[in-house]
Chain A
Amino acid sequence: MKRLCIFIRAFRKTLPSTRHFCTASSFAIKNVTRSNFEPTLVELRRHVRDADFVAVDLEMTGVTSAPWRECFGFDRSDIQYLKVKDSADKFAVVQFGVCPFRWDPHKQSFIAHPHNFYIFPRQEIKGDDDSLYEFHCQTTSIDFLARYQFDFNTCIRDGISYLSRNQEEEALRRLNERYKDDLPDSLTSVREVLDMKLDRVADILFTERLKNNIAEWLDRLLREGNSGRLETENRSKASSQKMKTIFFKMHPAIDLSGFTLHQLRLIQLIVKKHFKDLVFVSVTNEASCQQHLIVYTESRSDQDLLLREVKDCIRKESEMKIKGAIGFRQVIDLLSSEKKLIVGHNSFLDVAHVYRKFIGPLPSTAKNFVAAVQKYFPFIIDTKVMLNTNSVLETLLKRSSRNTSLSKAFALLCPQIASVEKPSGSDDKYLVKVEVQVDDKRSQNWNSGAKHEAGYDAFMTGCVFAQACSYLCVDFNCHPPSSSWPHNEKLQGYVNHLYLSWINGDIIDLRSGNCKPELTSSRNWKNRCAQILYQNMVVLWGFPSKLKASEIRECFSKAFGSTSVSMIYYLDKTAVFIQFSKEELVSEFLVLKKTLERSNDPISVIHPLSKVLEGGQTCAGNYEAYKSICSSSISKVFFADQADAVGIQWKTQSLGPVPEDEMVPNKNKVLPDSPYQTENVEEVLSNGNNYRDELDSFFPAQAAQLRSR
């Protein structure tokens, strides 16, 4: 309905102005499913080769597998990566938007080719790791997609499947393993069959009958050697329907059809046992059906030759099947091999998904991950980083309380595309023209308006990037070879800089793996900041559920002094972080907790901490314990259950030396003070309106959920 309205509006607008180029400004985006994937890929190859940059966007079945897996302000950068990794491990990508942009110097306009791929992890080859074909769905995300008219039927029925590079290698390795031994009969597990015992009367009768039939057939074959006669005679037999004579690789053969698997096994047994000149073969025919044959061979060497030939054939088929199962990964391979500039909006999670789905398992640290990513995608740019770290763009966006969600940025930066009304701004000369081409339809003010559809989001991202480049005074005409884009010195500050997590404002440099807070930061809450000192923190869970943060603080203040606790953060309703004012207090607390739990004397009962320890289920650990719980692949809804499921045996972590984390240069970071205190991040977001919409692109479901609260 919404799209229809836009269409009508657009149509009305264009009708009076006699534009000679194209009147209809809205046509459907290029939707790609498995039915039109191959021809589209051919076209796409050309578009990507010619492109200056390629914008991408993904839609997933979820973002966080548990509430406590959401990104919090007190998450160190290694934790942030673990959370991204968990998300990419668990959820499926269901839509993949790819939009190549090319600058046309004659038209002084970009040409964009938005594609919207439906993808689905359908299992196409056997023997694969089953766990790769199961995925989580976050209920709110599915609901969110449904609200934006996502077509689940198309996705599940016709979505393009894929194999990662890792899966492909593994499948080929298994294939080699299977055909490694040169035994000709290894393709059918004959020895397994020989083991079969004939003890059912029916089986014995069946084998006797078949033995006679085959013997007769062989007899006639040897006697007459004439195939034409054979067939006519054979027809008289009762079982002729099931046993047709054909030729297989120049050998006369019986085509066995209509037998059950059990019967076929019996036949195989008969052939092996009683007929030296015959050999049982199973192949896949042209119609890709399984065909079972008994083939006549003249000699032992002839038989070996035939079997080898059959084996090679089957092997080639399996290889083809594996190649055929690569599916959507061909698009990823294309983007990788062309080494184009990839543009995304807040795209770290997207990149993680691309790696996980199409390359292989994610490395365990961010540093190793970005190094691996660089090998496949040397140039990635994040429009969100550009918009938030460039002063020119920042001032442009400031007008609207600094909102850098994709749709907002698109509406503000690209009014000439986003709205049908002609923009009345004075800075018209900076506005970039983008012509959209879908198959042979073209339009200069195309706008499908289908927000949160991967193809359209990719298009918006590309437009935002082009416009941002224009404001940065990148001269589009100066780029004859499209490969020079990533090397433009005006973009150097942005290429390969991604938000590791937007909430924390940590930007990771893909080339070095270093992570630092964003430089120019106008985040209004940064003014009232508090220090996060990871080494001063203790994570506490399993305490009595009725306990409030203020009560916990009170208990600790009584036990360690009124200034001992500098902050308390809620992880979820079953766990809190307590930040002590001094590092020593961490071990002091853990030791005290242990002593209190061990002794049952009156002192421990009246001790101020007893309120927290009540119930005997309270556990505590330092920040590294939090990390190890985060790195588990299990996802329970509540943190306390998670810690339990991860198999933490201790109730109080025994203290060894706290491992220094080499990948985190900013061990202590800055965090807003008051709002985060004693509150869950989610709640903070729902109270402060400032960056609610920012969540839009990164946490669609949660953001939607927050807004509707």
Chain B
Amino acid sequence: MWQRRLLSTNIHKASFEASAPLQNRNLKNRKWAVKQVKKSNFVEALDEIKTHIANSDFVAVSLQKTGAFSSPWQKVLPFDTADIAYFKAKYAAERFQMFQFAVCPFSVKSSKLIAYPYNFHLFPRDELKIGMPSYSFLCQSSYLTAMAREGFDFNACINDGISYLSRAQESAAKDRTGNPLLKYKEIHSPLPKSANSVADSMFVERIKSRIRNWISACQDSEKKTDANADALINSLRKIVSGSEMFGLRSSLTVDVCSDRQVQLVLESLNNFTSVVPLLVPGKEGNTQAVRVVLTTSEEDKVAFEKELQLKEEEHNKRIRGFREVIDLISTSQKPVVAHNLINEFTFLHSKFLAPLPSTINEFRTSLCSIFPYIFDVNHLMMAIGSQRKLNKLSAAISQMKRRFTGQLNVEIPETFGPSDIGGHGRSVLRICELFAKLSLTLSPDAADTAPPTLMSEANIFNPHLSSPSDLLDEDVGISTKDTRRINISDLVFLWGFGEGMSARKLKNLLSSAHEAFSGEFDVRMADTNCAVVVFWNPGFAERFLEIMNSGGMNHEPLKDLISEGVRAASYRTYQRVCEQGLWEADLADALDKALEGTVDHVEANSEQEPLHVSWNSDELINLDDL
């Protein structure tokens, strides 16, 4: 009781310290204490975080990557559909690496946010010398420089970072590590008796007699240890029978050359109660030998089996490394909170689960089987009616600061270790705080855990839509005058107009070029050499494309443009670029390549339901920003 009181005062004290600067309304000065975890303190941290995850309502995650996109158009653009956003995120996740992975189990209790922030330093070191988890990875110098500016210690990360294997890699590695261990569980499939041939039974008998001899040799030597003369003979007998030591126990290795023989050996061992068989894996995942370990009694046998189990677990832990944390989050089935879900979870999936599937639907299914609820604070911002997607966490925070009028105190309990505390991975706390404010705004009455209003906002993978129903409805309430919804068939990509073109210049050029541009239309640059044109009048885009494809027949101004090298393509072509991974540095080159590749099946899949994307006049790339 007394202890508990002491604990609670500690909490109060810590919460006071954490919330005091909050009153200054100055985020930057606030001391954020995040536990820094490296290889050297990983084991303790793992035990700790296990309890914290179990006792918390949510888990927030945030990744620090070595890069994001190689050229401007390869980042998720406002007019990208969910499919395309996934392809882009997948491409990044497969090439770049992350050096820091922040995990923060937290709970929201009325106006209190109790958080346990951890920041894991990762390095894909090849611990098992099998070319895993990553043969090589890509870095962008700007990302590394930014990390260096924050004082990140690369030497410590590379030397003392925690390695890992994904689930898929682990199962592949098990066969290749060649540890002579621990496959004793899968052996209890009895042989069909009828299948035994004469040769088989001879083999079984030979094994049996060999084992019998070996056991008696071992037991004899134990009984007569003091008799000197016999000791020599016994040790000779042991050598002859091929006995060796497995830990403190005697063992015998029986070489086998087929799976059939493995089963026969195991069958013949059934007659001996005191032995435990182990399978020694060979190079190609087959069994190379059966190691028979002799135990002294029934209790010893149980003890030995337990010992083996522990050893296996330890070995597996070493193999999994940081993934253990991911597995903990997964088994806890707690809702996971992140900022920019699709970017973070494509990384998480490809590094810790399995290679990314080829479609977003498979990805969604695969991910939801591991994490039942995933919240994207970015999406929640839209759910509470934020005008547009705020790509930067800081922007979302400052907007929320204005909107959120309630009280929220951040508490990091003081018991949360004074050692290994540092500033890296702070953003995960910001995500926690933002999420807490958002959930309090969405459902002010629900005190703790996930209220139903919140749950309906989980697992939304589309980076731009506010809810799944958007896909069907024409227009949902979130649209403001800045954002308009457009059918992707009204979008046309245009390129080949030479360098130094701006959206304005191009718009002027086009408006006089063809009557399709007599209606309302907008031009934005997708990157320096490629523009996107939206036709607000339905059908105009199609007509325009038709004329462009016909080479500007009967339309002199367009013919001129075409002869100057201007080309046009539909949104489907852009989809194909991302689908086929034509990640050229310039979007124009990629589109050219996509057009080259597929002359025969132009828009074959026209029966697809029309998709909508949002058009935000502010958000597109401005040429001057490039």
Chain A interface (Cβ < 8 Å from any Cβ of B): 61-62, 65-67, 90, 92, 120-123, 127, 129-131, 133-140, 142-143, 146, 151-153, 156-157, 177, 189, 191-192, 195, 548, 635, 637, 645, 647, 705, 708-709
Contact = CB atoms under 8 A, between A and B. Distances in A.
Contacts of A133: 140-142
Contact of B585 (A120, A122, A131): A131
Nearest to A126: B626
Given A131-B585, A192-B504, A156 B145 contact: yes
15 contacts: A61-B139, A66-B136, A90-B136, A131-B70, A133-B142, A136-B136, A137-B137, A139-B137, A153-B153, A153-B155, A177-B500, A189-B502, A637-B135, A647-B580, A708-B129
B148 interface: yes
B70 to A, nearest CB: 6
Contacts of B284: 548
Contacts of B125: 139, 143
Interface of A is mostly: mixed
Interface in B109-153: 123-126, 129, 131, 134-142, 144-145, 147-148, 153
B159 interface: yes
Contact of B499 (A120, A151, A152, A177): A177
Contact of A134 (B140, B158, B624): B140
Contacts of B141: 92, 120-123, 133-135
A477 B626 CA distance: 59
A709 B144 CA distance: 32
B135 A67 contact: yes
Given A153-B153, A177-B499, 18 more contacts: A65-B135, A65-B136, A67-B131, A130-B71, A133-B141, A136-B136, A137-B136, A137-B137, A137-B138, A143-B126, A151-B155, A152-B158, A156-B147, A156-B148, A192-B502, A548-B284, A635-B136, A637-B131
B67 A134 contact: yes
Contacts of B581: 645
A192 B136 CA distance: 44
B136 A139 contact: yes
B16 interface: no
A550 to B, nearest CB: 12
A92 B67 CA distance: 15
Contacts of A146: 155, 158-159
Residue of B131, B154, B499, B500 most packed against chain A (CB within 10 A): B154
Contact of B135 (A66, A123, A177, A189): A66
A137 B139 contact: yes
A121 to B, nearest CB: 5
B236 to A, nearest CB: 35
B148 A139 contact: no
Nearest to A158: B148
Contacts of B500: 177
Contacts of A123: 141-142
A156 B66 CA distance: 13
Nearest to A188: B624
Given A143-B125, A156-B145, A192-B504, A138 B135 contact: yes
A121 B144 CA distance: 10
Contacts of A143: 125-126, 158
B124 A139 contact: yes
A692 to B, nearest CB: 16
Nearest to B157: A152
Interface residues of B, number: 39
A645 B123 CA distance: 27
A189 B624 CA distance: 9
B199 to A, nearest CB: 25
Contact of B139 (A134, A645, A708): A134
Interface string B485-510: 00000000000000110101000000
Contacts of B72: 130
Given A131-B70, A133-B140, A189-B624, A142 B135 contact: no
A185 to B, nearest CB: 14
Contacts of B159: 146
B626 to A, nearest CB: 7
Given A120-B141, A157-B148, A191 B504 contact: yes
Contacts of A189: 502, 624
Contacts of B155: 146, 151-153
B389 to A, nearest CB: 19
B391 to A, nearest CB: 17
Q: Which 4 A-B pairs have the closest CB atoms?
A: A152-B154, A138-B136, A134-B140, A146-B158
A129 B129 contact: no
Interface string B87-127: 00000000001000000000000000000000000011110
A129 B585 contact: yes
Contacts of A120: 141
Contacts of A645: 581
A134 B70 contact: yes
Contacts of A548: 284
Nearest to B583: A634
A624 to B, nearest CB: 21
Nearest to A645: B581
B137 A131 contact: no
Given A67-B131, A143-B125, A192-B502, A135 B139 contact: yes
A183 to B, nearest CB: 13
A66 B95 CA distance: 13
Given A139-B135, A139-B136, A143-B126, A156 B144 contact: yes
A136 B70 contact: no
Contact of B126 (A62, A139, A153, A156): A139
Contacts of A177: 499-500
A142 B71 contact: no
A192 B70 contact: no
A130 B70 contact: yes
Given A153-B154, A189-B624, A645-B581, A131 B71 contact: yes
A43 B97 CA distance: 40
Contacts of A153: 148, 153-155
Contacts of B142: 122-123, 133
Contact of B129 (A67, A135, A705): A705
B624 A127 contact: no
Given A65-B136, A134-B70, A709 B129 contact: yes
B587 to A, nearest CB: 13
Contacts of B585: 129-131
A180 to B, nearest CB: 9
B223 to A, nearest CB: 43
A87 to B, nearest CB: 11
B394 to A, nearest CB: 15
A62 B124 CA distance: 14
Interface string B151-187: 0011100110000000000000000000000000000
A139 B70 contact: no
A131 B145 CA distance: 16
Most chain-B Cβ atoms within 10 A of its Cβ — which of A92, A120, A137? Answer: A137
B415 to A, nearest CB: 33
A88 B140 CA distance: 16
B358 to A, nearest CB: 12
A290 B137 CA distance: 37
Tell which of A133, A136, A138 has the most Cβ of chain B within 10 Å.
Answer: A133
A248 B154 CA distance: 46
B170 to A, nearest CB: 17
A282 to B, nearest CB: 12
Interface in B272-326: 284
Query: In this complex, which of B136, B138, B142, B144 has the most chain A Cβ atoms within 10 angstroms of its Cβ?
Result: B136
Nearest to B144: A156
Contacts of A647: 580
B154 A156 contact: yes
Contacts of B123: 142
Contacts of B624: 189, 192
Contacts of B134: 139
Nearest to B154: A152
A683 to B, nearest CB: 11
